[in-house]
Structure 1
Amino acid sequence: MLTASAPLKDLPPVTFAGAGPGAAEHLTLGVLRALEAAEVVIHDRLVGEEVMALIPAHVRRIDVGKEGFGPSVPQSAINRVLVETAQTGARVVRLKGGDPGIFARLDEEIEALEAAGLSFRILPGLSTAPVAAAAIGQALTKRGRNASLRILTGHDMDGFAEQDWRGLARATEVAAIYMGKKSARFIQGRLLMHGAGPETPVTLVENASRADQRVHAGTLATLPALALCCSGPAIILFGLAPRAAIPAMTSHEEARA
C-alpha cells in the first residue's frame, strides 16, 4: 500500500482499489474493508457484480464506465468527478476492475488529485492475467520456457497499439494481452509479419473468474475467429494453451450439474 505525501487539505485520502477480475473470492481483505468504510464508490464498468454486491446499501455509487472503441465517460470527466467528490470530505473509493495500476489510467487520476491538493492511497487488486492463466491450468512463467512475461494492451488512445512485435514473435515468448479482442486481426497480422509461427498456441479467457467464464483455445492462425466467439471482455494469453486436464475437469463438473 502506498500513501501519498502529506495532503494540502485536511480531507480523507481517496482510495484507489483493485476489484480483481470479477469474482468476490479474488477481492483482497484490504479492498473489502475500504468498501465497507466508504461513503462514495466511483466504479468502472468491469467491476464484477459479486464485488458490487459487497458495497453497503447506504454507500453512494457513481458509474464512470469506459469501453474500448465504444461509449465511454471521458477521462477528463472522471477526473473532475473524482476531485469534486473528494473535496466534499467524503470517504471515496475509486474502484477499478483488476489492478488499478495495470492499464487503468491510474496516473492520470492521481495527477488530478495532486493538482487539487488531495491525497490518495493505493490498494492493489488481483489482475486478470494470473487469474486467466490459473483457469487454464498454466503458469505465466516457466523455467526453461520463458524468463520474462509481457503485459500488453491491444489498443491505446491512438487506436491499435504498436508493440515490440519482433521480440514477441520469438519462440517460447508469453504475453498477456489486455483489451485485445477487437484488435485480434491486427495483432495476428503484426506477429505473423515479424516471424511468429501460425501454430503458436493462443488462448482467450472470456469473463475470467465469473460464473459465465469461457475458455477459447486455438492458435495464432485462428486468433481472429476466437475473438469473434467472445461477447464479453477477454484477455489473450499468447503462447499458452490449456492443460489437457482443464477441459476434462470442466466436462466432469458440467456432467455433475
Structure 2
Amino acid sequence: MNIQWYPGHMTKALRQIKEDIRLIDMVIELADARIPDSSRNPEIKNLTNGKIHILLLNKADLAEDAVTTKWIEYYKSQGIFSLALDSRSKAKKREIAALIDKASAEKRARDLRRGIKNRPVRALIAGIPNVGKSTLINNLAGKNSAKTGNKPGVTKGKQWIHVNKTLDLLDSPGILWPKFDDESTGEALALFGAISDDVFEKQELALILYHRMTELYPGRLNDFYGIDENLDDAMVLPAIAESRRLLAAGGALDLNRAANIFLDDLRSGRLGKVSFEKPD
C-alpha cells in the first residue's frame, strides 16, 4: 500500500521553520514511541543541524516499556538527549526540565562568558502531525497555550509560548516529508494517525494492521475480538464487524465501521501496548 501525503500547507510550514531557525537555541523533536524510526522526519534533522537537539518519544504509555527503554538506550549511545514520556503526564515535567537544562548547559555557559545573563532558552517544538506537540507545550506551560486535537493539521501557524524565565517555546505545525522511501513508513504513519484518514482506503489499511498484529502479537486479536488469527483477508473485517455487531442499513455487516473501529482501537491503546519498530 503506497501512501504518500504532503499537502501544500506543509511546504509553507517547512519554509517557516527554515526562517525561524535563526531565532532558536534548541530543537525539541517529538516522535511516536510505537514507531520511533518512521515518525522521525529527516527534514527536521537537516534543517536544525548545529542546534541543540532533544528527542522525546511521546505516547510511551501506549508502547511496550522494554522496547522503549531499548530505543532510549540506543539514542543515548548516539549522543542524542532523549526521554520517553506521555506528554499529558504532569509527572514528567521535572524530567523534561532537567533534560533541557542538561542539554543547554554549554549554551548558558557560553552566554555567561559573553556577559549575557538570565536569557531564556528558545526552543522549537517539532515533529510529525498528531504526535502531541501542542499537548506537551500546554503541559509545560501549565495552561492551554497551544491548540490540540486528535487529528493531523490542528496547529496551523507560528505560536510563541513563554513557559517561565528560563524557557520560551515555539510551536510549529506537524510536517512530513515529500516522499517516503518505502511503503512501510507510510503505512506506519497512517496506522498511528499521522496521515489524514482521507487519503487512503481504511479497509485496506485495516488488513495491513491485521497482519502486523498477528505477526507481532499473536493471540491479542483473538483475546480482544474473539476472532480467528488465520483468516483469509476477505474474512477479517466481516469477523470484526460480527464480533462487535456492526450492521449497516438492511442488516449487512458494516465493514467500513469495522475498519474504523479496528484502527481506533490500535491508536487509543485499547488493543494493548504495541511497538511496531525495534532498534537493530
Fold in common (TM above 0.5):
no
Structure 1 or 2, whichever has the larger Rg, is: 2
**Taking structure 2 as the reference length, what is the TM-score of the superposition?**
0.36
Which structure has the highest helix share of the two?
A: 2
